[in-house]
Amino acid sequence: MDEAPWPAQIQDVKATIRWMRANSESLGIDPATIVVGGKSAGGHLALLVGGTRGLDAFEGNSGHTSVSSEVAGVIGVAPVADLTDWARRPTMAKLFGENPAARIVKAASPIAHVNGDYPPTLLVHGTADTRVPHAMTMRMYQVLEQAGSR
C-alpha cells in the first residue's frame, strides 16, 4: 500500500476494464457486457466502479484513456460499501493517510456514488460475517432501491 496510495487501486481496476474493452475482439468478449465483482475489499472496488463512471480522479491516466470504463453490472460479496467508519482505522493509514479528510472518505465510499444510472447490482452477504457488517450491505441495497437503480 505504501507505493500505491488511494485512489491507485480503483484507477488500476478501471485501466483493466478499458484494456478489456479495447481488446474485446481478440479476447472474444462483448465489450457491452463487462461485469465486475469482488468480495470484501474487492467488492468495494467493484461497487465503486459501478458508481464512478467518468469521474476523472478515479479514471487515472494509464492505458486506453479514451476507452470507457463503464460496466454492465456489479457483483458485491460482503462488500465494504461505506468507509465512513473504516477509513480512519490505523490499519487504513497506509492507504488513506492519517486522519483522511471527510471528502476523501466520502468519495471512496461506493454508497455515496449511487444514482439512478447505477448498473444492475447483485449483493450477497451472510448475516454471520464478523469482518464486514451485514448491515452495511443492507444500507447499500436500500440506497440502490431508493435511487431507482436497475
Q: Mean pLDDT, to the nearest integer, of 121-147? A: 96
Instruction: Give me the residue spans of the domains in the chain.
Output: 8-147
Cis peptide before 90 (omega within 30 of 0): no
Q: Residue 114's pLDDT is what?
A: 97
pLDDT tens for 26-57 read 999 999 999 999 999 999 999 999 999 989 99
**The whole model's pTM is what?**
0.93
Domain 8-147, architecture per CATH: 3-Layer(aba) Sandwich (3.40)
pLDDT at site 1: 47
Classify residue 55 by burial, with Cβ atoms within 10 Å: 0-12, 13-18, 19+. middle
Q: Is the pLDDT of residue 110 over 80?
A: yes
SS3 37: strand
